[in-house]
Chain A
């Protein structure tokens, strides 16, 4: 069965790039433009095996989203990767405390992305 990944980023180009990479690698992809949209999709019954979320988003940022996801029964243990920039060390910590599984530091290339996913997604 194909694994499904929920990609949350307000930047369309980032989302396109991540989604494209994942689809090439055989994943199903659900996209959301911010935390709010992601929560709505999860509440609507989306069942991703992994969530990749940008931290810096309007309406609902990544940290809040991670906290929200962790309160959902179905997604208590779903791996969540956050997209950060190298300078956001404090944010990284904050994200981990909120319940993030890991992180990908921007800029990354498609191979690095897949490597990190491989790290957290149960085989």
Chain B
């Protein structure tokens, strides 16, 4: 039966990456708890599973590497080796190799085969080390099989049809093993014709002493067959070990049945010729090397030109790449059946409510208004619950983002000669899959900064009276409709004076300008601030912080910092749970409604006449508490008719993005509500200054403003509609 196994490959890869994760976290923990046998068993089991399954799907390279890892792990498990940093290091390197091999098996990425070979050799060296120790201790020795000992030419010829005598005294517990002698005779019969079957009842005890579940019988079978002894012997595979078994040919004693079992049914022509001694392996290889690729042959035969072939090859390569990319794009989410069950339940409720309303409308009279209101309320409740449940499908524990960090911190600590422990909590906190994927980069950046620059070298820590080992804490938790993630270290903290001095030097802060604590720390997120400091690493902070901030803001989140010099720094990230729904403020301009994302709004003011000023080079600004904020007249930008063209009559909505504040001029504030983002790119095209559209309660379409986009638009002085 031909069965295509490739359809199960996706599951295999998914499973393997889970195992890889188990191995990685396990190894990292083992370093601190080397005596934890259960942990070691877990790691071993994961490696063992990958090994076994990779074989099933024909990924030999994966199998070979994991096999060697498994052997070393087994050595650790049996106390033949000790858990040392070197072994963990080596195993982690092997794991990296394994990851790349899995990628290759998946059809993307590349593996450094040389490096993997080296790792394999090292793994073997460890394993052999224990083998040697075992030998020296007089323990059992691993059997060495000399496969070259049996010359291929001496293979016994296929025997003719003859009568083979088989004597079988089975083990008494035959039945308790689920074995059935009848099955064995059936199988023998399939190999030829059973000539005679003799039952030997000598061992049968007297009736009172007899145990009905024990096999006392033995058998002698004369089988007429042309099959080799090996095949007959194979029938007894599962019973041979504890049975007495003799299989005899009628004539001269035969050489014992070969132990090499399970040859491939399909053999290549060359292999057969070599086996039969017609040619040697060397001859075969020389001839094989003469084989040509189809492209070369076609060119030689002048069927097509070499350039055409090159083109076709390029196309092939391109197609491969595309196919690979497509494979990468199809992401799936595993959803618990309980979640789906609940959804189906809810759908049922919705259908019921809907039919009740349909019923009501058919025979509606005015006195039924309260009833109608009740139904509408019910409908609302159900749809809200439905919304929450559907959202929860996209929710994943943040663990998927966190899991890479222990390894990273370990590597960074070794590289920097520091001692750092990473304490993670709240890994089970759930948030939207897209948000999780997008938060990995900023988090990596923050943690790397903490490990590289925040945590001091050991000597320095001791001098300051701190524990030698530095701590980085990573925490996630829900708060209202948001998720908060904090990255905290007990390192040296930010240096107030240095930051301020640098900012002044860069002209970001005017001399004598009064700055609050918060404002100073926010300076590190300013673009340009970091790049200018790359060389000197201001207190180790600020490398690409503007990028971190921008990334988080693009997710609709915010990032803040708290620090105490000499004691540590804490970054606090606040993110929406999902990107599909946002809290928005509906504003009106003329007859149109627009949505301003609530996260970017600082305040709204109706300015007085003397607050409005025009500054050369900055244009129209509003003066707010000694701050001049540029004003964007949205009706101008969008080229629509507004009710008010005088800011004093309208409302200024103060928004902030990427450290820049602007005031958006609108006619009035309508109200705050949750809106579902509909993509413009998918349905129309990307429009500068708009993040998307949504449908309001009254059925009208409203655009959602993209605040960072608006700010850059206003800077360039162009209007949206050209």
The interface of chain A, by Cβ under 8 A from chain B, is 10-14, 16-17, 20-21, 24-25, 56-58, 70, 76-80, 83, 85, 87, 93, 96, 99-103, 106-108, 110-111, 114, 119-123
Offer 26 A-B interface pairs, CB within 8 angstroms, sorted by A.
Answer: A11-B49, A12-B14, A13-B56, A14-B52, A17-B56, A24-B1, A24-B3, A56-B48, A57-B45, A70-B176, A76-B176, A85-B48, A85-B51, A96-B241, A99-B176, A100-B178, A101-B178, A101-B179, A106-B56, A107-B55, A119-B235, A119-B237, A119-B238, A120-B178, A122-B183, A123-B186
- Contact A14–B45 (Cβ < 8 Å): no
Inside 8 A of B187's CB, which chain A residues have their CB?
119
Chain B residues, Cβ within 8 Å of A101: 177-179, 238
**Is the C-beta of B11 less than 8 angstroms from some C-beta in chain A?**
yes
* Other-chain contact of A13, B12, B67, B177 (Cβ < 8 Å): B12
- A79 and B1: CB pair below 8 A? no
User: Contact between A108 and B56 (Cβ–Cβ < 8 Å)?
Assistant: yes
What is the minimal beta-carbon distance from A72 to any residue of chain B, in angstroms? Answer: 12
Q: Which of B12, B45, B180 contacts A122 (CB 8 A)?
A: B180
- Are B8 and A13 closer than 8 Å at their CB atoms? yes
Residue of B nearest to A92 (CB): B241
Q: How far is the CA of A56 from the CA of B77 in the complex (A)?
A: 15
Cα–Cα, bound, A93→B130 (Å): 24
Given A78-B178, A122-B180, decide whether A111 and B1 contact each other with a Cβ distance below 8 A. yes
Bound CA–CA A119/B183 (angstroms): 7
Q: By CB atoms of chain A within 10 A, which of B55, B58, B178, B182 has the most?
A: B178
B160 on interface, CB distance cutoff 8 Å: no
What's the Cα separation between A114 and B3 when bound, in Å?
A: 12
A96 to chain B, nearest CB (A): 7
Known: A77-B175, A99-B176. A16 touches B55 (CB 8 A): no
Q: In the complex where A102-B238, A106-B55, A107-B55 touch, is A122 in contact with B8 (Cβ < 8 A)?
A: no
B15 is an interface residue with CB less than 8 A from chain A:
yes
B1 proximity list for chain A (CB < 8 A): 21, 24-25, 110-111, 114
CB interface residues, B 1-40, toward A, < 8 Å = 1, 3, 5, 8-9, 11-12, 14-15
What 10 A-B pairs have minimum CB-CB distances, sorted nearest first?
Answer: A107-B55, A79-B178, A102-B238, A101-B178, A13-B12, A13-B11, A110-B3, A106-B52, A107-B56, A17-B8
Report A5 CB to chain B, min CB distance, Å: 13
Over the window 180-213 of chain B, the binary record of Cβ atoms lying under 8 Å from chain A Cβ atoms (1 yes, 0 no) is: 1011001100000000000000000000000001
| A12 and B177 contacting across the interface, CB-CB below 8 Å | no
B residues lining the A interface (CB < 8 Å): 1, 3, 5, 8-9, 11-12, 14-15, 42, 45, 48-49, 51-53, 55-58, 63, 67, 175-180, 182-183, 186-187, 213, 235, 237-238, 241-242
- Minimum distance in angstroms from B190 CB to a CB of chain A: 9
Whether the pair B176, A56 counts as a contact (CB closer than 8 A) is no
Q: Are A77 and B8 in contact (CB under 8 A)?
A: no
Cβ-defined partner of B45 (8 Å) among A13, A58, A110: A58
A58–B49 CA distance with the chains assembled, in angstroms: 11
**CB of A84 to closest CB in B, whole Å:** 9
Which B residues touch A103, using CB under 8 A?
238
A85–B53 CA distance with the chains assembled, in angstroms: 10
B25, chain A: closest CB distance, angstroms: 15
Closest chain-A Cβ to B131's Cβ sits at a distance in Å of: 14
CB neighbours (8 Å) of A16 from chain B are: 8, 11
Which B residues are CB-close (under 8 A) to A114? Answer: 1
Per the bound structure, the CA–CA distance linking A102 and B1 in Å amounts to: 22
- Asked if residues B53 and A13 are in contact (CB atoms below 8 Å), the reply is yes
Question: Closest chain B residue to A70 by CB distance?
Answer: B176
Nearest chain A CB to B179's CB is how many angstroms away? 6
| Chain B residue with Cβ nearest A69 | B178
The answer to whether B53 and A11 touch across the interface, beta carbons within 8 angstroms, is yes
The answer to whether A120 and B15 have CB atoms under 8 Å apart is: no
B177–A96 touching, CB < 8 Å:
yes
Tell me which of B53, B178, B182 contacts A99 (CB under 8 A): B178
Q: Report B-chain residues with C-beta under 8 Å of the C-beta of A102.
A: 237-238
CA distance A114 to B11 in the complex (A): 22
- Contact between chains at B180 and A17 (CB < 8 Å): no
Nearest A residue to B59, CB-CB: A107
Knowing A77-B178, A120-B178, the reply to whether A10 touches B49 (Cβ < 8 A) is yes
CA distance A122 to B56 in the complex (A): 27
Say how far B124's CB is from chain A's closest CB, in angstroms: 14
A13-B57, A122-B182 are known contacts; what are 19 more A-B pairs with Cβ within 8 Å? A10-B49, A12-B11, A12-B15, A13-B11, A13-B12, A14-B53, A58-B42, A70-B176, A79-B180, A96-B242, A100-B177, A101-B238, A102-B237, A103-B238, A106-B55, A106-B56, A107-B56, A119-B183, A120-B183
Q: With a CB–CB cut-off of 8 A, which chain A residues contact B9? A: 13
Given contacts A111-B1, A119-B238, contact A20 B179 (CB under 8 A): no
In the bound assembly, the distance between CA atoms of A78 and B180 in angstroms comes to: 10
**Shortest distance from the beta carbon of A86 to any chain B beta carbon, whole Å:** 9
Please, which residues of chain B bring their CB within 8 A of the CB of A11? 15, 49, 52-53
Interface centre among B5, B11, B52, B53 (most CB of A within 10 A): B52
- State whether A79 and B48 are in contact (beta carbons under 8 Å apart), knowing that A13-B53, A24-B1, A114-B1 are contacts in the complex: no
- Look across to chain B and name the residue whose beta carbon is closest to the beta carbon of A16: B8
Alpha-carbon separation in the docked complex, A118 to B3 (Å): 18
Give the Cβ gap from A40 to chain B, nearest Cβ, in Å: 18
Complex interface: chain A residues within 8 A of B12 (CB): 13
Bound complex: CA of A78 vs CA of B179, how far in Å? 8
**Bound complex: CA A20 to CA B8 (Å):** 10
Find out whether the CB atom of A21 lies under 8 angstroms from the CB atom of B183: no
**B52 lies within 8 A of A21 (CB):** no
| Bound CA span A102–B175, Å | 13
Q: Which of B42, B48, B63, B179 contacts A120 (CB 8 A)?
A: B179
Q: Chain B residue with minimal CB distance to A102?
A: B238
The smallest C-beta distance from B287 to any residue of chain A, in angstroms, reads 30
Q: Are A17 and B5 in contact (CB under 8 A)?
A: yes
Find the A residue at minimum CB distance from B52. A106
B65 vs chain A, min Cβ distance (A)? 15
Residue of B nearest to A101 (CB): B178
Cα distance A113–B45 when bound, in Å?
23
From residue B145, how far is it (CB to closest CB) to chain A in Å? 12
How far is B45's CA from A87's CA once the two chains are assembled, in angstroms? 14
Closest beta carbon of chain B to A64's beta carbon, Å: 14
User: What residues of chain B lie closer than 8 Å to A77, measured between beta carbons?
Assistant: 175-176, 178
CA distance A78 to B3 in the complex (A): 27
- Distance, CA A25 to CA B213, complexed state (A): 32
Contact for A56 among B49, B57, B175, CB less than 8 A: B49
Please give, as numbers and ranges, the residues of chain B lying within 8 Å of A79 by CB-CB distance.
178-180
The answer for the CA separation of A107 and B63 in the assembled complex, in Å, is: 10
In the bound complex, residues from chain B placing their C-beta under 8 Å from that of A121 are: 183
From A21, A57, A83, B3 is in contact (CB under 8 Å) with A21
